[in-house]
Amino acid sequence: MGDIPAVGLSSWKASPGKVTEAVKVAIDAGYWHFDCAYFYHNEREVGAGIRCKIKEGAVRREDLFIATKLWCTCHKKSLAKTACRRSLKALKLNYLDLYLIHWPMGFKPPHPEWIMSCSELSFCLSHPGVDLPLDESNMVIPGDTDFLDTWEAMEDLVIIGLVKNIGVSNFNHEQLERLLNKPGLRFKPLTNQIECHPYLPQKNLISFCQSRDVSVTAYRPLGGLCEGVDLIDDPVIQRIAKEHGKSSAQIVIRFQIQRNVIVIPGSITPSHIKENIQVFDFELTQYDMDNILSLDRNLQLATFPITKNHKDYPFHIEY
């Protein structure tokens, strides 16, 4: 799995007021891997939690694995470094362990004022179209970039020492193949971060990535609602949880670990944060694994519908 710790804490949908405390609880519980993104607008709070624990001596920076993501409006080569430095500044770090292209799609770049504005959150709140530039029919306005060019800018960030590893997120197998076959590729993507849970097990995409020596990181691993049933309440998951004396969340996290998939559940609840990493003291049987895989509903929760008209929309093909 490269150097990425098997379980991390995602800061997606974690409200800024709660995420600092969540990060501190997570470090105390043994988490080393933290997954952020510019688009979540809480990097500053994640950084505050990390800094607090380093100051206390609870953890050293070099023990941690911090990932964040380049947003779609900054795919232009000239903007990638600005965006990376901005994330580093918000996190108050001098390097990232992993920087990901958040989506393969580049959007219309932001107004020059955004580039100059020092507090990106306040600017985005007063200019809501900055992150998601929309046309009159409320579809995203594409940029004129190609993710192969964006990748070159990502590689430059490794060369200058701002990031240790680079990767991608939400790439389908054709997009990943195109990147891996890029002439003059200097660094391979370390991981492809994708939505993955028992209702969307992603067998084909995982086997493709792993066959190309690209690890897979599962976001939204606890799934969501399918026909009114929450994955966590699925009777199959509940039965397996009962048999092992574990929670449903621990079962679906362990399921990914046994597939050699890195997993980043998100929570701001201390008891859940602690529980989600207590998954190394039991093993699912092959029968359990097969039963969980049979829950496949092809349920994609993160479909990003306003981007469906984009030439690089990743979900028009099967995987």
Strands (E) across the chain are located at 8-10, 33-35, 65-70, 98-101, 166-169, 191-195, 215-219, 225-226, 229-230, 262-263
Residue 105: φ, ψ to 5°: -95, 125
Can you tell me whether residue 307 is helix, strand or coil? helix
Distance separating alpha carbons of residues 144 and 91, to the nearest angstrom: 29
Distances (CA, A) of 173 to 140, 151, 194, 317: 23, 16, 11, 9
Active site residue ranges: 40
233 exposure class (CB count in 10 Å sphere: 0-12, 13-18, 19+): exposed
Distance separating alpha carbons of residues 178 and 170, to the nearest angstrom: 14
At residue 84's C-alpha, the angle toward residues 81 and 85, to 5°, is 85
Amino acid occupying residue 188: K
Residues 5/276, Cβ–Cβ less than 8 Å: no
Helix (H) / strand (E) element for 25: namely helix 16-29
Distance separating alpha carbons of residues 276 and 253, to the nearest angstrom: 7
Looking only at the bridges linking them, the beta strands covering 225-226 and 229-230 are antiparallel
Token reading at 218: 């599962």
Q: Is 127 marked as binding a ligand?
A: no
Report the binding-site residues: 102
Report the binding-site residues for substrate: 102
